[in-house]
């Protein structure tokens, strides 16, 4: 029997396209450790750009099919799927991929020559800002479930709750009275559900924060970002305060954000506010990863859907504004109860339709980050 050559396996895998990145796995350098034994058994590792990759199974099966088709005499095929999260293009002074610079530099932190550097966090690969046009649309709920879901897939995840006037993450994870430790002059994030968390609510009581304005608020925000010992993170989720005021603008201007996620309900009113959030990110050149529609419908016990806030408003808005639609999350009492009881729905009821929807949204966001990072590193 003719032995199988490693080059035959490489050639076969060179025909397998990464569906999102539009190039083959070999060109993208995603295949490692190809080994063929004397009996014709093959093993190799595929290194994905995120552990939350929704295409994981598809890619694995495509590899197996491609090898079986090209090398019919192959024995067993053992594909080990791992991941290494790619870094944001905005990392370490790189300005590639952000487009949108208007060239006039009228914003101080716009990245032009001589402009102040945006704040970067050394060991944080990607910063995802989660924003909403107005309060109460479920931004914090989406941020938390996103963080927990990415962590559950195997990523290293941090979460910042920057809602100065109404921090909700401590309650949502049952850490109301927790105070972070300080080590070597840095705040230690508090870890829960596999996520490293820091909230303005851990640092000051809400009544104190309520009277802060302008500089006080800004310096508290800065502290949340720069004075925390995050260590290594694949994704840092930044739950922004609701709305598009000065605090939000300063934050998104001064921090090297990989991309923004916008949360809305399907309601028209919410959508009018969403347009303002979109404008804010576009103005400062932060890529928008896409739009999440929360509270899309209420599922009745017989499985029918009640579209309480109107139908597909988010999806239509995304389309007309040239944004990716990242998915819909239905209304469910388990989400609200999860928020109130301190255990996110994704942990308490992982199989519930809302939790599944939230996981799909998380996968979609991870995927958009990978695409963004690949586009600027390949171009």
Ligand X SMILES: Nc1ncnc2c1ncn2[C@@H]1O[C@H](COP(=O)(O)OP(=O)(O)OP(=O)(O)O)[C@@H](O)[C@H]1O
Closest distance of CB 52 from ligand X, Å: 20
* CA angle, residues 339, 264, 143, in degrees to nearest 5: 40
- Our finding on whether 163 is near ligand X (CB under 6 A) is yes
Interactions with ligand X, residue window 123-152 (CB under 6 A): 132, 135-141
Axis-axis angle for helices 56-70, 6-13 (nearest 10): 130
DSSP code of residue 241? P
Is 134 known as a binding-site position? yes
Contact range with ligand X by CB under 6 A, out of 200-208, 280-288, 325-333, 362-370 = 325-333
Q: Of the candidates 335, 346, 362, 371, which one interacts with ligand X according to CB under 6 A?
A: 335
Between 217 and 256, how does the x/- string for binding to ligand X read (CB under 6 A)?
-------------------------x--------------
- What's 272-331 look like in SS3? HHHHHHHHHHHHCCCCEEEEEEEEEEEECCCCCEECCCCCCHHHHHHHHCCCCEEEEEEE
- Our finding on whether 294 is near ligand X (CB under 6 A) is yes
Is 192 known as a binding-site position? no
- Our finding on whether 339 is near ligand X (CB under 6 A) is yes
Between 53 and 92, how does the x/- string for binding to ligand X read (CB under 6 A)?
----------------------------------------
Q: Of the candidates 40, 166, 194, 353, which one interacts with ligand X according to CB under 6 A?
A: 166
Q: Determine the distance from the C-alpha atom of residue 75 to the mean position of all C-alpha atoms in its chain, rounded to a whole number.
A: 39
Contacts of residue 88, defined as CB under 8 A and 6 or more positions apart, other chains included, come to: 125, 126, 127, 256, 258, 369, 372, 373
108 phi and psi, to 5 degrees?
A: -55, -40
Between 65 and 299, name the residue whose CB sits nearer to ligand X. Answer: 299
From CA 89, how far away is CA 320, in angstroms rounded?
27
How many chain residues are in contact with ligand X, going by CB under 6 A? 21
What is the contact surface with ligand X in residues (CB under 6 A)? 132, 135-141, 163, 166, 168, 242, 294-295, 329, 331-332, 335-336, 339, 354
């Amino acid at each position: 029997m003719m032995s199988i050559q490693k080059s035959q396996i490489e050639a076969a895998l060179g025909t397998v396209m990464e569906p999102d990145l539009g190039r083959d796995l070999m060109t993208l350098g995603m295949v490692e450790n190809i080994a063929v034994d004397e009996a014709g058994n093959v093993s190799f590792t595929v290194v994905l750009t995120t552990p939350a990759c929704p295409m994981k199974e598809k890619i694995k099966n495509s590899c197996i099919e491609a090898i079986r088709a090209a090398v019919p005499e192959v024995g067993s095929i053992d594909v080990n799927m791992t991941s290494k999260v790619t870094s944001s293009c905005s990392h370490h002074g790189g300005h590639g991929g952000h487009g949108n610079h208007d060239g006039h530099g009228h914003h101080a932190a716009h990245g032009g020559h001589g402009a102040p550097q945006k704040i970067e966090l050394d060991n944080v690969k990607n910063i995802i800002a989660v924003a909403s046009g107005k309060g109460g649309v479920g931004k914090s709920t989406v941020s938390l479930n996103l963080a927990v879901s990415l962590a559950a897939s195997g990523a290293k995840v941090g979460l910042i709750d920057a809602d100065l006037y109404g921090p909700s993450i401590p309650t949502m994870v049952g850490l109301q009275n927790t105070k972070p430790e300080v080590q070597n002059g840095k705040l230690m994030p508090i870890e829960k559900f596999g996520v490293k968390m820091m909230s303005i609510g851990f640092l000051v009581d809400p009544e104190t924060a309520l009277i802060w304005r302008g500089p006080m608020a800004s310096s508290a925000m800065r502290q949340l970002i720069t004075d925390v010992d995050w260590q290594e993170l694949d994704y840092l989720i930044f739950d922004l305060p609701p709305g598009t005021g000065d605090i939000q603008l300063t934050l998104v201007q001064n921090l090297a954000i990989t991309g923004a996620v916008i949360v809305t309900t399907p309601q028209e009113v919410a959508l009018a506010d969403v347009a303002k959030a979109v404008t804010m990110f576009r103005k400062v050149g932060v890529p928008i990863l896409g739009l999440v529609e929360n509270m899309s419908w209420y599922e009745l016990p017989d499985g029918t859907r009640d579209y309480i806030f109107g139908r597909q408003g988010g999806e239509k808005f995304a389309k007309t504004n040239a944004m990716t639609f990242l998915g819909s999350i239905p209304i469910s009492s388990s989400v609200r109860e999860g928020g109130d009881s301190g255990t996110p729905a994704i942990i308490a009821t992982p199989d519930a339709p809302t939790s599944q929807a939230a996981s799909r949204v998380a996968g979609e966001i991870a995927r958009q980050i990978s695409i963004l990072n690949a586009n600027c590193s390949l171009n």
